[in-house]
């Protein structure tokens, strides 16, 4: 523990950077109409601005991640976590400044890809770094990256409200976040990082030849949970406002705070459960199951109150650390290639971000008022597939160690 204490300032900056990542991943959904107008979107016959191009830009985050993850993981493992982290935070600064003043859809789309590249480098720095800083509680340390994200997402609507009350431009929040990322970059230049794969280095005078990654069926299933778990919360996070409007909620942006509060509570509860001995694989089965039930309730009960409850429950069960636990579980399959293992899970997550949100944008532009409920059904199907993957991983872990997983 004494050795871990010296890394606390570094950990705080990494968690702060993840908080900014949380804002970057959700702030466009809060300003869909403003950005759609800035990029020349048409007004539909119903009098509503067509926001499908904003959903497409959000989907571009996944394309950027998909492009960068094959490189960011090896960069993190070969050149160090600091290098990967610096690239990530500097690119995020570029995203915040660039998207704020973009005047065309295609420029915004390119900047959206930049967001994904930044995300990939930050991911392959933060998760491995925290697990190396706090090896005795690696899963919990990684889980709290989600707490950072959802805390920022919980506060975001209040910041947006303050900016509106002060009559500042909607660009303001982007500029503030860009400056914050530049400060984080300067901090990461000087703060200490742990030695990578320290346990292995301590047992050998010469660096051991790195073992080749073995892709068992269980490891592949754990990686694919990156796709399914990301789909569950991405579809809800980026499409719930249109659903709220269709159900008669006057200010659907408040759903964001219910969602974030549920996710924050989940991180705290899940961390305690894991500390008490509950296996990560159990959570990977239980939480998506809760999400499926809640999604179905939101589909069949077309009343505003169900969306307030649903946002909280889906925040808890889908965005409360399932992706982070999938990452930790995958890393257990590849203990000497933590950065690359993180990349693999996040590649799956990126495919979800790009492919599924692109499909959601198509559904939104094609089916108009019926689109939000169709997207719920899409979410249910993919989340059920994720439960099947989690059950397989649970069985594989149980068979590999000979005890209940």
- For residue 275, name the pLDDT band (cuts at 50, 70, 90): confident
Using DSSP's 3-state secondary structure scheme, residue 264 falls into helix
Packed helices 338-351 and 105-133: angle between N→C axes, nearest 10 degrees: 150
Q: Is the pLDDT of residue 122 over 90?
A: yes
Q: Is the pLDDT of residue 405 over 60?
A: no
Mean local confidence (pLDDT), 90-101: 94
Highest-confidence segment of 34-48, 61-75, 113-127, 190-204:
113-127
- For residue 167, name the pLDDT band (cuts at 50, 70, 90): confident
Residue in this structure with the two tokens 């659903």, named with its chain if needed: 243
Mean local confidence (pLDDT), 212-228: 89
How far apart (Å, rounded) are the C-alpha atoms in residues 322 and 352?
15
Closest CA to 240 of 292, 312, 147: 312
Q: Is the pLDDT of residue 205 over 80?
A: no
Percent over 90 (pLDDT), the chain: 42
Q: Is the pLDDT of residue 207 over 80?
A: no
Mean local confidence (pLDDT), 31-40: 85
Q: Is the pLDDT of residue 283 over 70?
A: yes
Q: Is the pLDDT of residue 171 over 60?
A: yes
How far apart (Å, rounded) are the C-alpha atoms in residues 80 and 73?
10
- In Å, what is the CA distance from 98 to each residue of 26, 93, 158, 171, 177? 16, 8, 23, 10, 12
Mean local confidence (pLDDT), 18-33: 87
Range in 152-156, 200-204, 217-221, 223-227 with the lowest mean pLDDT: 200-204
Give the pLDDT score at 47: 63
Q: Is the pLDDT of residue 209 over 80?
A: no
- For residue 46, name the pLDDT band (cuts at 50, 70, 90): low
Give the pLDDT score at 190: 93
Range in 18-27, 109-118, 181-190 with the lowest mean pLDDT: 18-27
CATH class label, 9-192+210-401: mainly alpha
Mean local confidence (pLDDT), 346-350: 86
Average pLDDT, the chain: 86
The more confident residue out of 307 and 43 is 307
Q: Is the pLDDT of residue 397 over 60?
A: yes
DSSP 115-168: HHHHHHHHHHHHHHHHHHHSGGGHHHHHHHHHHHHHHHHHHHHHHHHHHHHTT-
Distance, first Cα to last Cα, the chain: 27
Give the pLDDT score at 153: 80
How far apart (Å, rounded) are the C-alpha atoms in residues 292 and 325?
19
For the chain, the domains span: 9-192+210-401
Q: What are phi and psi of 71, to 5 degrees?
A: -100, -35
Structure tokens at 17: 């950077």
Percent over 70 (pLDDT), the chain: 92
**pLDDT (tens digit, 9 = 90+) per residue, 304-335?**
999 999 999 999 999 777 988 898 899 888 88
* DSSP-assigned letter for residue 2: H
The alpha-carbon radius of gyration of the chain (Å, integer) is 20
Task: Check: CB of residue 226 under 8 Å from CB of residue 382.
Answer: no
């Amino acid at each position: 523990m004494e050795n871990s204490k010296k890394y606390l300032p570094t950990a705080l900056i990494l968690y702060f950077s993840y908080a900014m990542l949380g804002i970057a991943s959700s702030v466009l959904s809060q300003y869909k109409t403003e950005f759609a107008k800035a990029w020349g979107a048409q007004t539909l016959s119903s009098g509503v601005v067509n926001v499908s191009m904003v959903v497409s830009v959000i989907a571009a985050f996944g394309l950027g991640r998909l492009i960068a993850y094959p490189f960011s993981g090896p960069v993190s493992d070969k050149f160090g976590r600091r290098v990967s982290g610096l690239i990530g935070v500097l690119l995020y600064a570029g995203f915040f400044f660039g998207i704020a003043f973009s005047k065309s859809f295609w420029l915004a789309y390119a900047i959206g890809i930049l967001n994904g590249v930044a995300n990939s480098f930050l991911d392959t720095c933060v998760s491995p770094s925290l697990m190396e800083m706090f090896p005795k509680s690696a899963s919990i340390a990684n889980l709290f990256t989600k707490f950072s994200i959802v805390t920022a997402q919980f506060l975001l609507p209040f910041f947006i409200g303050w900016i509106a009350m002060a009559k500042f431009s909607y660009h303001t929040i982007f500029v503030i976040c860009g400056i914050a990322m530049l400060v984080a970059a300067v901090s990461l230049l000087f703060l200490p990082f742990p030695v990578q794969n320290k346990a292995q280095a301590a047992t050998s005078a010469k660096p051991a030849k790195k073992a080749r990654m073995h892709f068992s069926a269980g490891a592949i299933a754990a990686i694919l949970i990156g796709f399914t778990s990301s789909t569950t919360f991405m579809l809800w996070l980026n499409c719930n406002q249109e659903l709220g409007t269709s159900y008669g909620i006057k200010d659907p942006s408040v759903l964001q705070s219910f969602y974030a509060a549920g996710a924050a509570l989940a991180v705290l509860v899940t961390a305690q459960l894991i500390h008490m001995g509950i296996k990560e694989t159990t959570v990977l089965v239980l939480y998506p199951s809760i999400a499926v039930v809640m999604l179905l309730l939101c589909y069949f009960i077309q009343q505003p109150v169900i969306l307030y409850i649903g946002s909280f429950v889906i925040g808890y069960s889908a965005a409360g650390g399932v992706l982070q636990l999938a990452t930790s579980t995958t890393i257990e399959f590849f203990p000497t290639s933590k950065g690359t293992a993180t990349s693999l899970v996040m590649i799956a997550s990126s495919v979800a971000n790009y492919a599924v949100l692109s499909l959601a944008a198509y559904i939104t532009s094609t089916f108009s008022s019926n689109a939000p409920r169709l997207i719920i059904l899409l979410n249910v199907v993919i989340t059920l597939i994720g439960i099947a993957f989690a059950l397989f991983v649970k069985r594989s872990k149980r068979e590999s160690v000979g005890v209940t997983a």
